[in-house]
Amino acid sequence: MQLVQQILFVLLAIAAIWIFARKVKFISRNIKLGRDEEFQSHPNRWKNVLLMAFGQKRMFDKPLVALLHFAVYAGFVIINIEILEIILDGIFGTHRLFAPYLGSVYTFVIDFFEVLAFLVLTACIIFLIRRNIVRVRRLSMKELNGWPRSDANYILIFEIVLMTLFLIMNSADRSLQVRAYEHYHDVGPFWISSNVSSLFQNVTSPNLIAIERGAWWLHIAGVFVFLNYLPYSKHLHIVLAFPNTYYARLQAQGTMTNMPEIQQEVLYAMQPGTVPADTAQEQHKKFGAKDIFDLSWKNLLDAYTCTECGRCTAACPANQTGKILSPRKIMMDTRDRMEEVGNNIDKNKNFVDDGKTLLHDYISTEELWACTSCQACVQVCPVLIHPLHIINQLKRYLALEESNQPTEWNGMYSNIENNFAPWKFSPDDRDRWAEELNV
């Protein structure tokens, strides 16, 4: 019987890891659909990882929420260290493999895990209340209707179930230790589950074993299910926050990437003598971005890393004044388009034009022109996502490729083209205002 359980466990583990690896490969391929973007190594990259990904620095503008989130994050990462022991127990048919080697340290570690599990359980309940009863504005906007809202709830419920199973498993285990039953050797009382174990006083030992084993199997199976749910969920940021903060752009936040081709044309227009006589007609280069293929791989990594927390949208002045722009939706739309393109490639071996693009089919011109490039969304993102970079690329395409911009801009464009300034004055007349000053 024990051998059968070991074989089943190994098969379950292999299946879970294989399915997870397939999805990781799919996401990695999708991110690589973007253009190249070079990044120089710099010590500040590791500083960003430590402060933003590990330390969650930007979350602490709301201290209580930050502490609750940090408890969930730390609990998720640290408690899962125990998964190593569970996996080895499952493979070798042992029970609490590390206990004999660690002695009292083992009991302390399990105690620490239990405190974290309790904190995770409490925090997840509070987050469920905030989302579904208090209905915090940024967590109940219309772009979250449907799957995004359900996803957030599913993941919180999932974590509550996993932590509860962990504590039940330890409580039943502790009851069996006290009874010195078979291989349940006494490793000392646990801070939380020892108090719960009193509920099992009148339960027979065979039933206790069933409870302990049932909780053990459901817990590890739940972990494997969670592993494969993660890549389909916004909670993929648990993993991608680290590379995304490492590869964050280190330039000053307001720095925008200029386009040398446009700068050159402006120079030639203002100083015709600088145009080389033997310059061959250059092939037209697409300006800006229309679909995900025109964005950089960093833009696409940003989209997959988005936590959908809505801090960017809550900080957006355009959204606050009733305009339809939502930086969070920009990131969600980019990710959705990537998924659609990825499925297209899987189905057809290569991408087959589906008549859709990120611009227009997912993101409207009204959304884009509502953006003032104020950088508020960039400033508040906990994992250094840059929605504005994507917005500006799409706006460039609208203006330079489609001549699709607000009508108020057309006069300015014409003046710049003819007068080299936004104002409707010829260059010869531009300094006449100073004649009365005797300058």
Report if residue 401 sits inside a domain: yes
* Residues β-bridged to residue 363: 359
Taking CB atoms within 8 Å and a gap of at least 24, the contacts of 27-31 are 27/231, 27/236, 27/304, 27/342, 29/342, 29/345, 30/300, 30/304, 30/338, 30/339, 30/341, 30/342, 31/297, 31/300, 31/301, 31/304, 31/338
By C-alpha distance, which of 350, 358, 370 is closest to 332? 358
Q: Tell me, yes or no, whether 304 and 360 share the same domain.
A: yes
> What is the Cα–Cα distance from 435 to 439, expressed in whole angstroms?
6
Residue 298 near residue 34 (C-beta atoms within 8 A): yes
Does any domain span residue 434? no
Q: Note whether residue 425 is domain-resident.
A: no
- Residue 44 is predicted with a pLDDT of 93
In a domain, 172, yes or no: yes
| Model confidence band, residue 191 (pLDDT cutoffs 50, 70, 90) | confident
Residue 80 has pLDDT above 80, yes or no: no
Task: Copy the structure tokens of residue 274.
Answer: 């600088």
Domain span at residue 330 reads 260-269+286-419
Tell whether 236 and 375 lie within a shared domain: no
Examine the domain organization and report whether 214 and 298 are in the same domain. Answer: no
DSSP letter at 359 equals I
Q: Residue 280: pLDDT above 70?
A: no
- Both 209 and 299 in one domain: the answer is no
- Do both 181 and 80 map to the same domain? yes
* 55 domain-assigned: no
d(CA 239, CA 246): 12
In the predicted model, what is the mean pLDDT of residues 124-130?
A: 95
Distances (CA, A) of 384 to 48, 61, 243, 258, 311: 9, 15, 11, 21, 12
Q: Give the domain CATH number at 374.
A: 1.10.1060
| DSSP 8-state class, residue 363 | B
Q: Quick count: other Cβ atoms within 10 Å of Cβ 84? A: 11
Assess whether 134 and 77 both reside in one domain. yes
Inter-residue contact 335 to 280 (CB < 8 Å): no
365 and 34 in contact (C-beta within 8 Å)?
no
The predicted model scores a pTM of 0.89
Q: 432 lies in a domain?
A: no
Residues 189 and 321 in one domain: no
pLDDT-derived band at 279 (thresholds 50, 70, 90) equals: low
Collapsed DSSP state (helix, strand, coil) of residue 96: coil
Mean pLDDT of the chain: 90
Confidence (pLDDT) at 282: 55
295 in the same domain as 150: no
Determine the straight-line distance between the first and last CA of the chain, rounded to whole angstroms.
101
Q: Is residue 222 part of a domain?
A: yes
Same domain, 294 and 214: no
| Placement of tokens 């990594």 in the chain | 301
Q: How many CB atoms neighbour CB 25 within 10 A?
A: 10
Asked if residue 351 and residue 308 are part of one domain, the reply reads yes
Between CA 176 and CA 186 the distance in angstroms is: 9
25 pLDDT higher than 70: yes
Predicted confidence (pLDDT) per residue in 358-396, tens digit: 999 999 999 999 999 999 999 999 999 999 999 999 999
Judge if 234 and 264 occupy the same domain: no
- Both 357 and 391 in one domain: the answer is yes
Report pLDDT digits (tens) over 389-422.
999 999 999 998 998 988 888 888 888 878 878 8
- Domain contains 383: yes
Q: How many domains does the chain have?
A: 2
- Average pLDDT (272-285) is 64
- What is the predicted pLDDT for the residue at 51? 94
Residue 390: what pLDDT? 97
CB–CB of 239/230 below 8 Å?
yes
- Maximal C-alpha separation, the chain: 105
pLDDT confidence of residue 199: 84
